[in-house]
Amino acid sequence: MSELLSVRHLPKLSLNRVIEGIEGVSTLPQVALRVMEVANDPESGAAELKKVMEGDAALSARVLQCVNSSAYATRTKITNLQQAIAYLGTKQIRNLAITASVSELFSVDETIGTYRRIDLWRHLVSVGICSRLIALRLRLNNFEDFFLAGLLHDIGIILEDQHVHDHFLAVIGSLDDRRTLAQVERDLLGFDHTMLGEKMAEFWNFPKTVTTAIRHHHMSAHYRGDDSELVRCVEVANLICSLKGITSVGMQLVRFSKPAMAALSLSKEDMLILSADLDKEVAANQSLFQV
C-alpha cells in the first residue's frame, strides 16, 4: 500500500489534455467502433453488420461461440454470422461483438490494492446483464440498449488505469468507505471517471443513450433528459452488482439511490428477485466474461 500512497500528491490533471492523449492512440479496437456505427445507423442492416464482423475472424468466432452457448438455447448449432444475426437480431449481435472487442482492454490483468482489472471487466458485464434484466422486468422497449449502456458505464475507469496510471495508483490508494470513487477522483485528478468516459464516448460517437448513462449513472436523480429510465436502470443495476460484491474497484462505494428505485417503482422484493435472476444470467452467460 505504501507504493500506492507515495504518488497521491501528484498535480491535478487537465481533462482536455488527457482526452487529447487518449484520442491520439487506438484505445478501442476499430472493429468495435465500426460495429457500433453500423448497428446504430438506421440505414444499415444485417448485411452491413455481417460485412464488418467478417473482417475479424477471431471476433466472428467469439460471437458464434456466445450464440451457441446455453444462454441462447439454440435447437441446432449456428455456424455462420448470417444465421446468428437472423436468429438474435442486429442489436444482440452488436452487443456480443462489442463485448468481445472491448474485452481486449482487459486482456492483461493487473492488481492495484483492492482493484483488479479483470474484476472491473466482470463488473461491467454484470451491470450490462442486470440493466437488461431490469428493463425486461419493467417491460421497457429496446432492452438490448440497456445492456450496452450498462456494459460501458464505467469505461472511464479502465481509461484512467491505462492512460493516467500514476494518478490512478493514487486514487486506489486513497479509497475508503467515507467517500465515493468519484469524490476521490475529483480530489486527486480534477475530474472523475464519468466525466472522462462521457468525453471519450462522444469522441467515439457512441449512441447518445450510452454516453448519457456513462455520465449520469451515479446521479440519475439530477438527470432531466429523454433517457431517464435507462439511466435509472443502469444506476440500480450498478448498485445491485456492487452489493453482491461485483464491484468496479474492489470496494463497495456505490450509494443507495432511493429516488431511482422509486421512479422505477422497484420494491425491496423486486431487488431480491433481480439479484437472484442475475446469478442465473451470469452463470448462463459465462462466455461474455472471457478476455
Residue 214 CB burial class (10 angstroms; 0-12, 13-18, ≥19): buried
Residue 65: Cβ within 10 Å count:
13
**Does the structure show a pLDDT above 70 at 107?**
yes
Label residue 32 by pLDDT band (50, 70, 90): confident
Which tens digit of pLDDT belongs to each residue from 243-267?
Answer: 999 999 999 999 988 999 999 999 9
Distance from C-alpha of 16 to C-alpha of 81, rounded to nearest angstrom: 40
Is 70 exceeded by the pLDDT of residue 5? no
Nearest to 181 by CA among 228, 221, 123: 123
Helix/strand/coil for 111: strand
Strand partners, 112: 115
Cell numbers at residue 214, please?
Answer: 456513462
CA distance 28 to 183: 26
All 3 cell numbers of residue 21?
A: 492523449
Percent of the chain with pLDDT over 90: 77
Measured distance CA(87)–CA(47) in Å, rounded: 14
Average pLDDT of 199-203?
Answer: 93
For residues 196 and 192, what is the distance between their CA atoms, to the nearest angstrom? 6
- For residue 4, pLDDT over 80 is answered with no
Q: State pLDDT tens for residues 167-193.
A: 999 999 999 999 999 999 999 999 999
The answer on pLDDT for 11 being more than 50 is yes
* CATH number, domain containing residue 171: 1.10.3210.10
pLDDT of residue 36: 87
Which one, of 156, 140, 113, 168, lies nearest residue 236 by Cα?
140
What is the number of structural domains in the chain?
Answer: 1
pTM above 0.85, yes or no: yes
User: Cβ(106)–Cβ(158) under 8 Å?
Assistant: yes
Q: Residue 1's pLDDT is what?
A: 42
Give residue 34's domain range: 2-289
CB atoms within 10 A of CB 20: 11
